[in-house]
């Protein structure tokens, strides 16, 4: 899963030289290139957090952004909705006949993204992001400001000198404003009858209470700042200058502590007070269908998240068919392990509870888990040149999900590396409960989130310096998560589960999970399933740990449609590969196919179809040329 909130989740590969026009930048801009530049600057200027993740120069972002956070006010969100409607009109007004082939590809990508985003702009509630998607609830357990901003400031705001330290403190003060803005928008949505189900509000309240239990000096806003200031002092070799830096650092830290105590934590208290006061007005109805124009909202979300025209009924049926097929395959695998009694889900639950497949729930167990993951990553990296023509240059690190975010976070996710190489790609693993992170499932999670999954897909996209910057700002869920799921399949096909039957069962269960998501997401939001009905179905079908099941179902409730992108994207990539293999026969080249899929960055599935169908004759010509050369 790619990381939370659009400013932290987009696949960015952003050098200034590639900001608008690639290698033709010295030439006069065409009308299309001019609009790309305008849209890029507009979007980055509106989101300082995205600009920080991107690492672009100030002129590309429309001015200095280092001391600003995104404006989360209702006025700003409404302006984003209006801008989304304007951008699709501007795109459609361009003369396509004058575009180069490269520009036509960019046009096709933007046409899908801008049109789908404009569809999401039609709703006056919830979260709306120009390059991300739509979510119905501003305050939720997944991507509200009080969850995303601590990680953003810790990971993405470098503190290297006095100026960047001052910018950090300015941003820190703005955290309170961001939390308050979301609280006010949630209050306004509640007046429209839009609020999360009561059990989601309970989770949010619990997370806010957890933040408020820690004193200011224990908050990540403070501890992360201190760590960065300490590094500056430690790097100074002159004792006198170091003493001066340390004294200055104490003043900065005192200011940070005061900001957290006087502004940030009170904003959290205000958010908590609102959630508690509004809790009695909430129902336990999990579906967005109960919201204003709810069925239309869900249709728009599905369109954004899957880049298909499939209806909820069609997606539900695809899921049920895939569940049935995987159950048959799992039954065979479980029988080979000697597990023959009971439904597949029941046998999977028995495996999950088996101590043989669990890590010890201790510091030593967590250390062993990280060691095992790193060894698996290294094995993939050694063999990857056999499957990919181009490999990413960016480093990859494995880290634990920050403790403050564990309760609402998924089991794992990936954060993209920085442009300048100072920050690697990071594969985050949630260690809140090691019983949820078994040796059965962990290998497949590694292949999805790290290599050859999201790290290859996102880091390679960052290194495409000839691709317009706006293209690399855009994220397509079905493409990205479809690739992650396809990467699991690829690892299995390449023998990474040989000699590890339990690990292969884990792979099949992960595939089953994504099929289950099609059933449950559409069940919740178009077939009036209750939360408990969804939990029971997931639990009985996958046999996974109760904590994992509840967290996942609650995620589908607040992020409608997103979970459908995985299997629909995988199906498309796998189908295109088989079509290419059948057409090319012995001329099929797996490395070339993967390069065709990955080396244009994230695209909607319809555009991916075009890319692969263009690659097939090119590959045939290359093979013919090679035969003539012999």
One domain, residues 261 and 287? yes
Residue 533 inside a domain? The answer is: yes
- The answer to whether position 215 is within a domain reads yes
Q: For the chain, what is the domain count?
A: 2
How does pLDDT run across 584-599, given as a tens digit for each residue?
Answer: 999 999 999 999 999 9
What whole-number distance in Å separates Cα of residue 630 and Cα of residue 627?
5
Q: How far is CA 130 from CA 40, 86, 169, 398, in A?
A: 11, 12, 27, 30
Which pLDDT tens digit goes with each residue over 484-510? 999 999 999 999 999 999 999 999 999
Location of structure tokens 């555009």: 607
pTM for this model (two decimals): 0.91
**Residue 423 sits in the same domain as residue 526:** yes
Please give the residue range of the domain that contains residue 394: 295-570
Quick one: tokens of 337? 């392990």
Tell me: do 252 and 323 sit in the same domain.
Answer: no
- Within 384-453, residue ranges assigned H as helices are 442-449
Three-state SS letters, 231-257: HHHHHCCCHHHHHHHHHHHHHHHHHHH
Instruction: Based on the fold, state whether residues 552 and 462 are members of the same structural domain.
Output: yes
Residues 339 and 471 in one domain: yes
The single-letter DSSP state of residue 264 is: I
pLDDT at 612 over 60: yes
Same domain, 272 and 357: no
Q: How many helices (H) and strands (E) does the chain have?
A: 25, 5
Span 147-199, pLDDT tens digits? 999 989 998 999 999 999 999 999 999 999 999 999 999 999 999 999 999 99
174 and 129 in a common domain: yes
Query: What is the DSSP code (8-state) at residue 132?
Result: S
Q: Answer yes or no: do 65 and 92 share one domain.
A: yes
Is residue 206 in some structural domain?
Answer: yes
Q: What residues contact residue 158 under an 8 Å CB cut-off, 6+ apart?
A: 164, 228, 422
CB atoms within 10 A of CB 33: 19
Residue closest to 168 by CA, chosen among 242, 311, 68, 40: 68
Q: What's the whole-number mean pLDDT along residues 601-625? A: 96
pLDDT at res. 472: 86
493/553 same-domain check: yes
Residues 285 and 300 in one domain: no
Average pLDDT of span 470-478: 92
Above 60 in pLDDT, residue 15? no
Q: What is the residue whose two structure tokens read 């209006």?
A: 82
- Pick from 466, 447, 443, 469: nearest CA to 456: 447
Are residues 288 and 400 both part of a single domain? no
The pLDDT assigned to 420 comes to: 61
Domain membership flag for residue 23: no
* Residue indicated by tokens 């895939």: 322
Q: Is residue 282 part of a domain?
A: yes
Question: With 80 as the cut, is the pLDDT of residue 362 above it?
Answer: yes
From 292, 313, 334, the end of a domain falls on: 292
Task: Specify which residues 413 forms β-bridges with.
Answer: 428
Does residue 14 lie in a domain region?
no
Report d(CA 401, CA 449) in Å as an integer.
13
On the 0-12 / 13-18 / 19+ scale of CB atoms within 10 A, 302 is buried
Assigned domain for 19 exists: no
What is the b/e burial string over 226-247, where b = at least 16 CB atoms within 10 angstroms of the residue's CB?
bebbeebbeeeeeeeeeeebee
What's the average model confidence in pLDDT over 31-59?
Answer: 93
| Rounded-to-integer distance, Cα 118 and Cα 121, Å | 5
Enter the tokens of residue 403: 């403790």
Question: Which of 248, 267, 292 is where one domain is finished?
Answer: 292
pLDDT in tens, 261-300: 999 999 999 999 999 999 999 999 999 999 999 999 999 9
Pair of tokens at residue 619: 């590959």
Residues 278 and 370 in one domain: no
More confident residue, 415 or 48: 48
Which residues pair with residue 400 across a beta bridge? 429
Kindly report the CA angle at 88 between 87 and 92, in degrees rounded to 5? 115
Please write the tens of the pLDDT for every residue from 85-100.
Answer: 999 999 999 999 999 9
Is residue 611 a part of any domain in this protein?
A: no
The pLDDT of residue 401: 87
- Which of 570, 586, 621 is the last residue in one of the domains? 570
What pLDDT does 13 receive? 33
């Amino acid at each position: 899963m790619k990381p939370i909130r659009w400013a932290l989740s987009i696949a960015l590969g952003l050098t200034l030289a590639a900001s608008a026009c690639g290698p033709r930048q010295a030439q006069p801009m065409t009308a299309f290139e001019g609009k790309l530049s305008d849209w890029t600057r507009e979007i980055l200027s509106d989101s300082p957090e995205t600009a920080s993740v991107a690492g672009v120069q100030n002129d590309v972002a429309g001015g200095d952004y280092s001391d600003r956070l995104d404006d989360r006010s209702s006025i700003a969100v409404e302006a984003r909705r209006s801008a989304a409607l304007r951008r699709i009109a501007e795109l459609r007004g361009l003369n396509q006949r004058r575009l180069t082939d490269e520009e036509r590809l960019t046009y096709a990508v933007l046409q899908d993204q801008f049109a789908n985003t404009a569809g999401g702009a039609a709703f006056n509630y919830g979260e709306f992001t120009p390059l991300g998607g739509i979510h119905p609830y501003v305050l939720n357990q997944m991507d509200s400001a009080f969850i995303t901003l601590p990680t953003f400031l810790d990971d993405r705001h470098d503190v290297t000198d006095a100026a960047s330290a001052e910018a950090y403190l300015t941003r820190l003060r703005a955290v309170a404003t961001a939390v308050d803005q979301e609280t006010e928008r949630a209050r306004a949505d509640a007046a429209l009858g839009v609020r999360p189900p009561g059990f989601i509000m309970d989770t949010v309240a619990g997370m806010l209470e957890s933040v408020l239990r820690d004193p200011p000096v224990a908050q990540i806003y403070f501890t992360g700042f201190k760590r960065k200031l300490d590094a500056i002092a430690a790097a100074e070799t002159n004792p006198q200058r170091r003493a001066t830096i340390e004294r200055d650092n104490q003043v900065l830290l005192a200011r940070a502590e005061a900001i957290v105590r006087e502004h940030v934590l009170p904003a959290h208290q205000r958010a908590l007070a609102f959630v508690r006061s509004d809790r009695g007005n909430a129902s336990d109805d999990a579906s967005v269908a109960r919201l204003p124009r709810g069925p239309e909202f869900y249709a728009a979300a599905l369109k954004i998240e899957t880049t298909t025209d499939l209806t909820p009924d069609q997606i539900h049926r695809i899921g049920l068919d895939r569940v049935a097929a995987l159950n048959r395959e799992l039954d065979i695998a479980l029988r080979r392990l000697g597990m023959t009694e009971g439904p597949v889900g029941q046998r999977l639950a028995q495996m999950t509870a088996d101590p043989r497949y669990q890590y010890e729930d201790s510091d030593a167990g967590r250390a062993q888990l990280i060691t095992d993951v790193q060894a698996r990553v290294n094995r993939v990296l050694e063999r990857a040149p056999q499957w990919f023509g181009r490999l990413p240059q960016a480093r990859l690190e494995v880290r634990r999900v920050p403790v403050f975010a564990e309760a609402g976070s998924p089991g794992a996710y990936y954060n993209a590396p920085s442009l300048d190489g100072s920050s690697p790609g990071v594969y985050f693993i949630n260690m809140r409960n090691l019983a949820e992170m078994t040796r059965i499932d962990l290998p497949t999670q590694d292949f999805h989130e790290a290599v050859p999954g999201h790290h290859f897909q996102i880091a390679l996209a960052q290194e495409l310096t000839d691709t317009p910057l706006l293209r690399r700002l855009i994220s397509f869920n079905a493409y990205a998560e479809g690739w992650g799921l396809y990467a699991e399949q690829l690892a299995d096909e390449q023998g990474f589960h040989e000699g590890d039957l339990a690990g292969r069962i884990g792979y099949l269960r992960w595939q089953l999970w994504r099929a289950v998501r099609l059933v449950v997401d559409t069940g919740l939001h178009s077939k009036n399933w209750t939360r408990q009905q969804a939990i029971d179905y997931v639990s009985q079908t996958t046999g996974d740990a109760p904590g994992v099941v509840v967290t996942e179902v609650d995620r589908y409730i607040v992020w409608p449609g997103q979970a459908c992108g995985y299997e629909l994207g995988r199906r498309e990539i796998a189908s295109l590969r088989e079509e290419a293999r059948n057409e090319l026969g012995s001329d099929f080249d797996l490395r070339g196919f993967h390069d065709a899929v990955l080396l244009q960055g994230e695209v909607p599935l319809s555009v991916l179809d075009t890319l692969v169908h263009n690659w097939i004759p090119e590959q045939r010509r290359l093979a013919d040329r090679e035969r003539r050369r012999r």
